[in-house]
Amino acid sequence: MEKRPALATLTTPVATGAFRLQFDNEEEVALVRESIDFFDDLQRRVDIGLRHQGYLFVASTDEGARMQRSLVEAQRQWGLADVELLDAGEARRRFPYLASNVVNARYRQGDGWLEPRRLALELARLSGARFRMGETVIGFERDSEGCVVGVTTDRGKIQAGTVVIAAGPLSGPVAKLAGLNLPLTTVRRQKLILPDLPQVPPEAPMTIEFETGAHWRPAGGGAHALWTAPAPAEPPLDDVPTSSAFAFGLLDPRSDHALARIAPFWQDIWMSSQLQWWLQAGQYTYTPDRRPLLGPTEIPGLAVNTGYSGHGIMGSIGGSRRAVDAIYGRLTAQDNPFRPDRAMQPRSFDVL
């Protein structure tokens, strides 16, 4: 069921479509690894714009460099052996656009990005599933024992053995229609689209300043640039407003999270008459521990596949497979670290 007139038009097309194995815990590494294997296989059959241009996290302080070193050590213990830890000299030799204040960097060539809407539409096409567009779920059907047995829409009723809420930022309000409170908050996130910038090296990896989380990657002859600093929760929205302050925060070299801090060519771009941009906005759907909610809920017949924060493209395949396996009993609640009723430790530090 999709209430909008076309698939993948709310949050998914706003994503920059990036994927990485450089996580700070083993379970998310495994979840995303499964997605990336699937993306590679899919790319061999159909063009989803997949590129393994790597992720480069750059530290510009000694404290940041120390944290990067200990994260790489932990990642190696989880079997993630291909993350390279580069000292300042090596980082600047390999990536000459980096500034002289860089202290260290960690790089994984196998990380990268794809076109998220293309991925979604190809998955929809290849699934053979039937989609009902322009139809809004407005309630749930229950049997005499309270089990969910279908949905009510603005056009009628639909019966279903299991209903899965996968409504992105609107998952919270949809769950409330069934009397279920999901631990979700929504926060506005924006993407700056900068076309035709000869200064941006087209083969560059996703480049992230570790301390600020400001990041960019080559796209369409220019770049996409993003930043995910702490921001207040807002109600879930169908149309998410953009703000020019977001663009200036990344582009103006005087900003405390300017892209130019670790890649000085962004100063030239700021001064260039060629600079033009567009903004897109969507919402991250956060759980307290920043991990998705996957599988059956306390209400029989009702499951969820949501709450991916900034990782719903890279987590899509591993996450959906786990949700389906949990629904069919192939993944027990004890073996599912993403089960919706888990105890959650609030997690605030995760730069992207």
Ligand X SMILES: Cc1cc2nc3c(=O)[nH]c(=O)nc-3n(C[C@H](O)[C@H](O)[C@H](O)COP(=O)(O)OP(=O)(O)OC[C@H]3O[C@@H](n4cnc5c(N)ncnc54)[C@H](O)[C@@H]3O)c2cc1C
Structure tokens at 247: 């663009």
- Tell me if 60 contacts ligand X by CB under 6 A: no
Say how many residues touch ligand X, by CB under 6 A: 35
Closest to ligand X by CB, 85 or 312: 312
Chain centroid, CA 266 distance in Å: 24
Q: Is 158 in the site for ligand X (CB under 6 A)?
A: no
Cα gap 192→297, rounded to integer Å: 37
By CB under 6 A, is residue 11 in contact with ligand X?
A: yes
Which span (21-29, 75-83, 84-92, 277-285) binds ligand X, by CB under 6 A?
277-285
Distance of closest approach, residue 39 Cβ to ligand X, in angstroms: 11
Contact with ligand X (CB under 6 A): which of 16, 22, 60, 297?
16
Tokens 């930043």 found at: 227
Counting contacts by CB under 6 A, is residue 338 touching ligand X?
no
Q: How far apart are CA 250 and CA 225, in angstroms?
A: 8
310 binds ligand X (CB under 6 A): yes
In three-state secondary structure terms, 31 is: helix
* 312 binds ligand X per the rule CB under 6 A: yes
Dig out the tokens for 58 from the structure: 């750059």
Q: Which of 259, 330, 337, 331 is nearest to 293 (CA)?
A: 337
Binding mask 214-253 for ligand X (x = CB under 6 A): ------------x---------------------------
The H-assigned helical ranges of 168-211 are: 171-176
Backbone angles phi, psi at 268, to 5 degrees: -65, -40
**Token digits of residue 295:** 């599988």
Q: Given the rule CB under 6 A, which of 92-100, 122-130, 266-274, 309-317 is the region that contacts ligand X?
A: 309-317
Q: How many helices (H) and strands (E) does the chain have?
A: 8, 17
DSSP letter for 28, please: H
Contact 182, 175 (CB under 8 A): yes
Ranges within 162-181 binding ligand X (CB under 6 A):
166-170, 174
The residue number with the shortest CB distance to ligand X is 312
Minimum separation from the CB atom of position 219 to ligand X (A): 11
Choices 62-70, 241-249, 260-268, 310-318 (CB under 6 A): range interacting with ligand X: 310-318
Query: Is 351 a residue that touches ligand X (CB under 6 A)?
Result: no
Does position 313 bind ligand X by CB under 6 A? Answer: yes
Using the rule CB under 6 A, which residue among 185, 190, 207, 336 binds ligand X? 190
Indicate the pairing of strand 148-153 with strand 84-87: unpaired
- Tokens read off for 101: 């204040």
Cβ proximity to ligand X, 190 vs 336, nearer residue: 190
Q: Out of 314, 317, 323, 326, which residue is the one contacting ligand X (CB under 6 A)?
A: 314
Contacts of residue 48, defined as CB under 8 A and 6 or more positions apart, other chains included, come to 39, 42, 114, 115, 118, 119, 122
CB of 84: closest distance to ligand X in angstroms? 21
- The DSSP code sequence of 181-250 is ----EEEEEEEEEE---TTS-TTPPEEEETTT--EEEEETTEEEEE------EE---SS----HHHHHHH
Q: Which residues bind ligand X (CB under 6 A)?
A: 1-4, 9-12, 14-18, 136-137, 166-170, 174, 189-191, 226, 282-284, 306, 308, 310-314
